[in-house]
């Protein structure tokens, strides 16, 4: 099938943060979340630089026709841009970000991931996590030192083992998965501001039960705020539609047909924790397709 994404994204700084260091992109061909790593200089810059490099590299391209080696090269270029940024501005030395993105492919969807932002998929009413955290706590779980039930809200949960920071080996550690795409699949990409405060079963229940991407993003953010999230929270929800099939999920809901078009690069307003636009806040990178909506910003990890 020719997978196309019908997406919505939302991001909040949150009541306990003074700035938002997350960046997010949603289009008909791909979506991503990048979360600037707290404790490092310029986390907000890192997430914007990586997101912006990907957007610029894919502008005017049919994403499904971009081969895996070229997609990997784009992520290498995004990582190298961090090194260039820190060299130009020494105060930004140590800037870093997570990255989780889904990209249309010739026969399905590709998932690129590094860090502890997450990707989830729902199919046929069953949801599961697709990505694997690059974190110290996850390493303890993987080696049998820590029970998985004790991992959530672990005091060392903000320690990451892999991120994009501009060093050559970072890009080599970006994982690339291939997944079959079916009309009706739903994907969630999110920063850890959601999953550190809303337990995974609750995240999946909302993702499964929401009528559409916009409702899902709103309910997920509401759940994070209800849990008193002390971090920025960014969510991107994408429904897979098949424009080659007359019974695609989008047409069944009566929505407009979404053509694959070049992404539109915008400055997105950051939402205050009460959900109202904060037009005085500096607006980080946001890219949306013509049917997408939302805002994004920056975050600190932990």
Q: Which pair of tokens denotes residue 280?
A: 């005085």
| Phi-psi domain of 83 (left: phi exceeds 0; alpha: psi -120 through 50; beta: other) | alpha
**What is the topology classification, in CATH, of domain 3-288?**
Phosphatase 2c; domain 1 (3.60.40)
Where are the domains positioned within the chain?
Answer: 3-288
Strand partners, 118: 190
pLDDT of residue 245: 60
* Inter-residue contact 120 to 188 (CB < 8 Å): yes
Residues 11/236, Cβ–Cβ less than 8 Å: no
CA distance 190 to 186: 13
Number of other residues whose CB lies within 10 A of the CB of residue 115: 28
Rounded to the nearest 10 degrees, how much is the dihedral formed by the CA atoms of 247, 250, 251, 256?
A: -150
Distance between CA atoms of residues 3 and 28, nearest Å: 9
Whole-number pLDDT of residue 272: 33
pLDDT digits (tens, 9 = 90+) for 196-207: 999 999 999 999
Instruction: Determine contact, residues 160/301, Cβ cutoff 8 Å.
Output: yes
- The beta strands (E) that lie in the chain are given as 3-12, 22-26, 30-35, 99-105, 108-114, 118-123, 126-129, 175-179, 186-190, 233-242, 264-267, 270-271, 277-278, 285-288
Measured CA to CA in angstroms, residue 143 lies from 56, 91, 155, 168 at distances of: 39, 37, 18, 27
Whole-number pLDDT of residue 41: 66
Q: What is the predicted pLDDT for the residue at 183?
A: 94
Q: CA dist 54 to 30, 58, 152, Å?
A: 10, 6, 31
> Which stretches of the chain score pLDDT less than 50?
246-300, 302
Reported pTM:
0.84
Question: The tokens 């889904």 sit on which residue?
Answer: 102
Contacts of 232 (CB under 8 A, 6+ apart): 11, 12, 13, 14, 17, 20, 21, 22, 35, 191, 193, 297, 298, 299, 300
* Ramachandran bin of 124, using left for φ above 0, alpha for ψ from -120 to 50, beta for the remaining angles: left
140 Cα distance to chain centroid? 24
What does DSSP say about strands 22-26 and 285-288: parallel, antiparallel, or unpaired? parallel
- DSSP letter for each residue of 41-90: TTHHHHHHHHHHHHHHHHTTS-GGGS-HHHHHHHHHHHHHHHHHHHHH-G
Distance CA 250, CA 158 (A): 38
pLDDT per residue as tens digits for the range 117-165: 999 999 999 999 999 999 999 999 989 999 888 888 888 888 999 999 9
Please tell me the predicted confidence (pLDDT) of residue 38.
62
């Amino acid at each position: 099938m020719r997978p196309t994404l019908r997406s919505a994204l939302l991001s909040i700084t949150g009541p306990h943060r003074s700035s938002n260091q997350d960046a997010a992109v949603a289009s008909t061909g791909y979506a991503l979340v990048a979360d600037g790593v707290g404790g490092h200089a310029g986390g907000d810059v890192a997430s914007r630089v990586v997101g912006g490099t990907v957007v610029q590299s894919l502008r005017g391209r049919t994403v499904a026709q971009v081969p895996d080696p070229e997609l990997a090269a784009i992520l290498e270029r995004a990582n190298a841009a961090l090194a260039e940024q820190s060299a130009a501005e020494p105060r930004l030395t140590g800037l870093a970000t997570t990255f989780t993105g889904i990209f249309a492919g010739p026969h399905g969807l590709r998932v690129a991931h590094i860090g502890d932002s997450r990707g989830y998929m729902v199919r046929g009413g069953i949801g599961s996590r697709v990505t694997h955290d690059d974190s110290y706590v996850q390493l303890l779980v993987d080696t049998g030192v820590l029970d998985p039930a004790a991992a959530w809200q672990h005091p060392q949960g903000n320690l990451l083992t892999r991120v994009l920071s501009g060093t050559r080996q970072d890009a080599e550690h970006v994982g690339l998965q291939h997944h079959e795409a079916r009309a009706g699949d739903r994907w969630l990409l999110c920063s850890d501001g959601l999953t550190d405060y809303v337990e995974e079963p609750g995240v999946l229940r909302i993702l499964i039960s929401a009528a559409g991407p916009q409702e899902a993003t709103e309910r997920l953010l509401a759940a994070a705020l209800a849990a008193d999230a002390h971090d920025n929270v960014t969510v991107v929800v994408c429904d897979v539609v098949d424009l080659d099939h007359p019974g695609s999920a989008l047409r069944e809901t009566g929505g407009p047909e979404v053509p694959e078009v070049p992404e539109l690069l915008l400055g997105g307003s950051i939402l205050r924790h009460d959900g109202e636009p904060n037009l005085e806040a500096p607006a980080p990178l946001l890219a949306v397709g013509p049917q997408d909506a939302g805002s994004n910003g920056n975050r600190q990890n932990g």
